[in-house]
Amino acid sequence: MRVIGTAGHVDHGKSTLVMALTGMDPDRLQEEKAREMTIDLGFAWMTLPAVNGQTERVGVVDVPGHIDFIKNMLAGVGGIDAALLVVAADEGVMPQTREHVAILDLLQIPTSVVALTKIDMVDDPDWIELVQEEIKDLLAPTCLAGAPMAPVSARKRLGLEALLQTLARQLAQAPARPDRGRPRLAVDRSFSIAGFGTVVTGTLLDGVLHVGDEVEILPAGLKSRVRGLQTHKEKVESARPGSRVAVNLIGVRPDEVPRGQVICVPGSLSNSILLDVSVRLLPTVAPLKHNQLVDVFSGAAEVPAYVRLLDCEILEPGRQGWVQLRLERPLALARGDHFIIRQPSPSHTLGGGLVVDARPARRWRRFRPETISRLETLSHGTPAEIWLQALSKEEPAPVRSVHGRSGLADSLAQAALLEAWPAGDVILLGGAVEPAPETLVISRSGWGQVSGRLSAILDETHRAFPLRGGMPKGELKSRLDQGRSAPLAPRAFNDLLSYAEGTGLLHVSEAAVRRAGHAVTFDASQQALVKRQLAAFRQQPYTPPGLAEVRAALGDELLAALLEQGQLVKLNEDVAFSAATYQELLAAVKQIIQQEGSVTVAQVRDRFNTSRKYALALLEYLDSIRVTRRVGDARVLR
């Protein structure tokens, strides 16, 4: 699940384009409809065209373009996966185009597409070419450089399909939102629904949220529980990272959970009034001074803060520096979160950056080399975070190879592992009780993805084939390998199955895998068919019906279920015996060999008054499972 956010100057057609693409009007307020201008965030969704056979449903956040509503725009772009930059062909790049692009670059939005709108308003192709070159020049020094451009007319529905194809291709290349096992949702809208109570919306990050989960609301410090979840107005039992989610909360009022609050797992996040950050100023603004008052925007929150410059007297335009932000009100952020700073009055964007430490121990003294060195190290991550990042590139993996990929010295890499493992961030596979160089390991988030994939594949198989006791291991591995950069090694696959069985997720037999608790059951008509066939096997135990006849009566799935359950034992493509008869025949063959030294097809045929076909099938089967071996025309025990 991904989220696309619009960006661009006022009246360049963002909302009109969203409505043309999705069929939904993102302007929900009466004032917006009266003024024909987006004031607050609007939301829609759509299914993109298939890429590599896979379609994707995406949410759309439509933001205001007018300069007076930039703060509302900032509340919407923090959780997006891709930006849809809208530029009108008849006007080209305008002031809010530039500011929105600057904000997207400061937030390092990973994927972007440019929609060149209103092409029906321009007759001169040279003008359109000039506008396209102007856009390319604007984007060149930013993270949006090279963004594909799609000319469209929303009103005349020109170029919309090409735009959708472009969005689909761009998002297919974008990395999925990570599952860190710590779900959090920055609230961008809060309201009440009669009969349900308080509902909040936002983009879910860092983990899976389930119906029934206990949650904490920060920075307010309230506790609640998830009564229900919806994604794109469809009820779901759980929501995954990157989803636009509506959360029905128990025991709180909408005014207690306004925009900017964060819904999270209790204890996974905490408030802070100090933030250690890296700040980059835009090249077109005035220098940033020590103790200057700014507005900080992160997620959907806005808080005034004072700037404490740690490594310079004044931060010059276009430069980057280390800063400690002293917030006037608490925020609940995490390391790695992006933010924007704006001048309060006159209001305009100054720059932005990255949270390096969301909970520093104290106010740092300025110009201290040890403080700067600490921030430099944290900017690249703690050793444990660096090690886990190396693991996430390909997992499960042996400890030795993760050490190498991390780039850390061996002693530091081992220390990082010994920090992450007891904390539950690393899982040892293969029954290991402590990590050794060749121990296969997987991260907690990696295991969450694998276990979710295993569950989905097996649940789908059980629904499609309810009479099968499980899924063949080879088929399961092939399905699990889909979407991976490299197939799982057999050892890794088997270790994952063993760990999954140990957690109670599934059951593994010699050849097949099933979800724990899954059992094959026959309905009344199937029971009648089975009873009739098994009776035929009892009536003629040594010359039973052929498998072709049984398959015609039962069907492939019902016959396969009897074979899986062991009620019938298949000797070859045409011969099967009931389980009881097979055990009787096996015991007799062993007895004859023990008494006479060997057994022949004729002896088995005469002993049970059967035909050569059945006797030969039995002995060849016993050869194949290594109970007997052939010597001339006879068989002896192995």
Which tens digit of pLDDT belongs to each residue from 555-606? Answer: 888 888 888 888 999 999 999 999 999 999 999 999 999 999 999 999 999 9
Structure-block tokens of residue 132: 């396209």
- Work out the mean pLDDT of the chain and round it to a whole number: 91
* pTM higher than the cut 0.85: no
Nearest to 117 by CA among 3, 4, 2, 15: 15
Structure-block tokens of residue 517: 């608790």
Over residues 358-372, the mean pLDDT reads: 90
Structure-block tokens of residue 189: 């809208």
Alpha helices by DSSP H, 503-628? 524-539, 547-554, 556-565, 579-596, 601-608, 612-624
Selected residue with higher pLDDT from 450 and 521: 450
Which string of DSSP letters, residue by residue, matches 327-396?
EEEEE---TT-EEEEEETTTTEEEEEEEEEESS-SSPPPTT-HHHHHHHHHHHT--HHHHHHHHHHTS-S
Q: Which CATH topology does 184-264 take? A: Elongation Factor Tu (Ef-tu); domain 3 (2.40.30)
Residue 75 has pLDDT above 80, yes or no: no
Over residues 117-128, the mean pLDDT reads: 94
Quote the pLDDT of residue 370: 87
Residues 261/220, Cβ–Cβ less than 8 Å? yes
- Per the rule left: phi > 0, alpha: psi between -120 and 50, beta: everything else, 397 is beta
What is the percent of the chain with per-residue pLDDT over 70, rounded to a whole number? 96
- Per the rule left: phi > 0, alpha: psi between -120 and 50, beta: everything else, 260 is left
- Per the rule left: phi > 0, alpha: psi between -120 and 50, beta: everything else, 7 is beta
Residue 608 has pLDDT above 60, yes or no: yes
Cβ atoms within 10 Å of 345's Cβ, excluding its own:
8
Within 8 A by CB and 6+ apart from 367, the residues are 310, 311
Q: Which of 54-63, 146-155, 348-357 has the lowest mean pLDDT?
A: 54-63
- Pairing, β 2-7 against β 54-62: parallel
The residues with which 275 forms a beta bridge, in sequence order, are: 325
Residue linked to tokens 């004859």: 592
Round to whole Å and give the CA distance between 36 and 179. 39
Domains 382-521 and 524-637 share a fold: yes
Residue 76 has pLDDT above 70, yes or no: no
Quote the pLDDT of residue 83: 94
Provide the pLDDT confidence category of residue 32 given band limits of 50, 70 and 90: very low
Quote the pLDDT of residue 27: 66
Alpha helices by DSSP H, 46-124? 70-77, 95-106
Residues 211/226, Cβ–Cβ less than 8 Å? yes
Q: Which CATH topology does 382-521 take? A: Arc Repressor Mutant, subunit A (1.10.10)
- At 282 the three-state DSSP class reads coil
- At 321 the three-state DSSP class reads strand
Q: Which CATH topology does 272-379 take? A: Elongation Factor Tu (Ef-tu); domain 3 (2.40.30)
Round to whole Å and give the CA distance between 522 and 52. 38
Cβ atoms within 10 Å of 287's Cβ, excluding its own:
14
Cβ atoms within 10 Å of 545's Cβ, excluding its own:
17
Residue 396 preceded by cis peptide, ω within 30? yes
Q: What angle do CA 541, 545, 548 make, to 5 degrees?
A: 150
Cβ atoms within 10 Å of 296's Cβ, excluding its own:
23
Quote the pLDDT of residue 496: 96
Is domain 2-173 given the CATH code 3.30.1180.10 in the classification? Answer: no
What residue segments make up the domains of the chain, in order of their start? 2-173, 184-264, 272-379, 382-521, 524-637
> pLDDT per residue over 141-181, tens digit each?
999 999 999 999 999 999 999 999 999 999 998 888 878 77
Q: Which H or E element spans position 43?
A: strand 42-51
- Pairing, β 262-264 against β 314-315: unpaired
Quote the pLDDT of residue 40: 66
Q: Which of 230-234, 389-393, 416-420, 511-515 has the lowest mean pLDDT?
A: 389-393
Residue 284 has pLDDT above 70, yes or no: yes
Is domain 524-637 given the CATH code 3.30.1360.120 in the classification? Answer: no
Residues 442/432, Cβ–Cβ less than 8 Å? no
Round to whole Å and give the CA distance between 184 and 167. 26
- At 264 the three-state DSSP class reads strand
Nearest to 395 by CA among 242, 110, 178: 178
The amino acid at 189: R
Structure-block tokens of residue 84: 């849809």
Residue 541 has pLDDT above 50, yes or no: yes
> pLDDT per residue over 184-234, tens digit each?
999 999 999 998 999 999 999 988 999 999 999 999 999 999 999 999 889
Most trustworthy range by pLDDT among 24-33, 283-292, 385-394: 283-292
Quote the pLDDT of residue 68: 52
Round to whole Å and give the CA distance between 66 and 604. 92
Residues 636/625, Cβ–Cβ less than 8 Å? no
Residues 526/558, Cβ–Cβ less than 8 Å? yes
Which string of DSSP letters, residue by residue, matches 139-203?
HTTSTTTT--EEE-BTTTTBSHHHHHHHHHHHHHHSPPPP--S--EEE--EEEEETTTEEEEEEE
Residue 472 has pLDDT above 80, yes or no: yes
Structure-block tokens of residue 238: 């759980």
- At 226 the three-state DSSP class reads strand
